[in-house]
Every structure is written in C-alpha cells, then in structure tokens.
Amino acid sequence: MLDCVGLGFHCVDLLLRIDVLPSFREHRHSRVHNFDMQGGGPVSTGLAAMGRLGARVGYVGNVGDDHWGTVILNEYTKYGVDISRVFIEKGGTSPCVVVLVEVSTGERVFMVLPSNLPPHKLTKDEKGDIQDSKLVFLAGWGDDVAEAAKLAKRASIPVLVDGLATGGLKGLVDVAICGEEHAYSVTRTNDPVKAVEKLSKGGYSTVGITLGSKGSIFKTEGKIVRQEAFKVKVVDTTGAGDVFHGAFGYGLIQGWDVQKTAEFASAVSALKCTKLGGRAGIPTLEETLTFIREHQNP
C-alpha cells in the first residue's frame, strides 16, 4: 500500500545556468555556468520530494520508449518513486523542457519540446491503488486526473492539487496550493490575505498560496496561517513550488497541522533552492529536521 499516488505532467528538465537570458536582438551569446539533466513536472517532482523524505509513493501515467522516457523512469527510481504503474508507450516521445536560468537574478525561461503521448487510461489495479492510498496528489486537467479525484472522494482519501480545482476537479479537492501569480490573477487582488480568503470559498478544507521569497499563506478551519521563507543562498528556484507541495503532502500523510506542515515544507523548499534544478537539492528528512533546529523559524 502506498502513502501517496500521483498523476499529472512529468518531463525531463535540461537546465542551463547562464550569464544573461539571450534574445534575438541583443545578448545573442551567453556563457553557460552549469548544465544538468533532471526529472521535472509538478506532481512528479513533488513525489520525488516525498520519496526522498521517506514516504512510499508511486506515479500513475505513461512515458515513451525513447531516451527521455528512460531518464524520467530512472529519476523516479533515484528518488524512491514506485514506477510499477507507469505504462511505456511504443514509439512514444516523452516530454522534455529546456530551462534557462539567469545567474544574477534566478529568472527562468522554459522551452517545451512536444510530446506525442496519448491520454492515460486508469487500469483496474491503478484504481485500487488510488483508493488504498493515504493521499492522492494531482495536477492538470486530464480525464485520468479527474477520475482519480472521483475515486479518492468515494473512498474518503484526501486530494492535494498543485494549483486550483478547475473543470472536472471542482468539488473534489481537499487541499489546493497555487503560486501567487495564479492566485492574484484568479482573485483580481495583489493582497495575499484577501486572495487566500477568496480562494477559501472554493470548497477546500485548506487552501494556500506560495509567495516565493515572502513565504506562504494558508486558510484552514477559518483561520489564516502565515509562514515566512527560510533564508538561504539561492542558486536556482526551479521546482521550488513543486518541492514545497510535495513536502506539504508529506506533512499531510503524517497528520501534522497546517502550521507545522507549512514550516516543514518551507524548509524543504529552501534547501532545494541551494542547488541547480528541481530535484538535486531535495533534502532527506533528517537533513530537513536538522535545518529547522538550526534555523529559527522566520
């Protein structure tokens, strides 16, 4: 039995730290400081964080039988994510994303290579895995994602969504966490308190907004919970939100309250940002707890 089953977009990230983001009009050349290749994607990176922290997690979906598909599967295995539920599509092209990171600012540009993978259809065994888990972690709007949410709801399994519940997910999500740009766009306010108050009316038991260097804010059980960001030397923020969501999911599995879970997720995300890429900096549970003990909660 798995602690968490995840469904949603996954890919390979090709990461380059460069002097300046190039353009066709100026700065056509830029020196590459670092290059790395890691797995990417919101739910998949969140699952990698949970697995690294010690949770029993598995991904449900498909990959192509190409080089990128092999990298995706190897990355899952590296971080302790069960891949027995991943279907390999013959002749399939797996998603790949080129990520340019500007050294001086941490600003990023994403360039997505196209994929030809068909929509994944849940098998009987996968449906059973979902209903036997402790948490279902979702992102996106595919039919398999909506079906997983419905199955979880019937079995009283909590559903965590990276983003907000839209389309077929409305009324099926317990915990939703989105980035501040998305939150402000939806609520039409740049005030995080007003934004999270508005989002809380979407039927969630807990809803949160990640605020980058300003931390995060949640509304749960009628109260506001604030968490400031831990201060670290930032190398790359790629995947910071994804890792935060995964660490938050770990806290949900442990049964922690939102305040403790937000502090824990903030620490895990901060440590991730000290290395290039969405996954290389993900800490272990022991490393995270040591970091929290040694750094006063901001």
- Residues 6+ positions from 296 with CB-CB distance below 8 Å: none
pTM of the complete model: 0.92
Return the exposure string of 181-207: e unless at least 16 CB atoms fall within 10 Å of the residue's CB, then b. eebbeebeeeebeebbbbbbeeebebb
Q: pLDDT by residue (tens digit) across 271-293? A: 999 998 889 999 999 999 999 99
Mean pLDDT of 98-117: 88
4-23+32-294: CATH topology is UDP-N-acetylmuramoyl-L-alanine:D-glutamate ligase (3.40.1190)
- Alpha carbons 9 and 43: distance in angstroms, whole number: 7
Asked whether the beta carbons of 165 and 174 are under 8 A apart, the reply is no
Q: pLDDT by residue (tens digit) across 216-229? A: 999 999 999 999 99
- Measured CA distances, 110 to 34, 101, 212 (Å): 16, 9, 18
Q: Domain residues of the chain, as ranges?
A: 4-23+32-294
- Alpha carbons 183 and 155: distance in angstroms, whole number: 29
| Angle, helices 285-294/258-272, rounded to nearest 10 degrees | 100
Give yes or no for residue 119 having a pLDDT over 70: yes
Kindly tell me the sign of the dihedral angle through the C-alpha atoms of 154, 54, 280, 62.
negative
Asked whether the beta carbons of 166 and 185 are under 8 A apart, the reply is no
* Chain centroid, CA 112 distance in Å: 17
Q: pLDDT by residue (tens digit) across 40-79? A: 999 999 999 999 999 999 999 999 999 999 999 999 999 9
For residue 97, what pLDDT is reported?
A: 95
- Residue percentage of the chain with pLDDT more than 90: 84
Give yes or no for residue 252 having a pLDDT over 70: yes
CA angle 81, 142, 97 (to 5 degrees): 60
- Measured CA distances, 45 to 190, 269, 297 (Å): 28, 12, 25
Q: Which residues pair with 40 in a beta bridge?
A: 11
Both tokens of 228, joined, read 């400031």
For residue 105, what pLDDT is reported?
A: 80
